[in-house]
Amino acid sequence: MKADIHPDYQETAIACACGTVYHTRSTKRDLKIGICAACHPFFTGEQKFVDTAGRIEKFSRRYAGAQSRKKSA
C-alpha cells in the first residue's frame, strides 16, 4: 500500500438509541445512531403501526368502494 493516502482508522463504539453498542473501526470516533439491527422492526419481527392521524382508516374508506366494484366486474 502507498504511504499517506489511506485514512486513519480508529477503534470506535457505535451506540444505538436502544442501548446496543457495537465495537468496530472507523474514521470517526463514537458514533450515535437512532436505530440498529437489534431494534429495527424488520429484523425483530415486531411491526408497530403508528397511525396518529387515522390515515389507514381514511385509506380504507376511500378505496372500499373500489374493492366492491372490482369483485362485481
- Check the annotation: does 18 bind a ligand: yes
Between CA 39 and CA 31 the distance in angstroms is 17
| Residue 49 marked as a ligand binder | no
Whether 54 and 72 have beta carbons less than 8 Å apart is answered as no
Tell me: is residue 9 an annotated ligand-binding position: no
Q: Kindly give the residue spans of alpha helices, DSSP state H, lying in 1-50.
A: 41-44
Task: Please indicate if the annotation marks 11 as binding a ligand.
Answer: no
Annotated binding site for Zn(2+): 16, 18, 36, 39
Annotated binding site: 16, 18, 36, 39
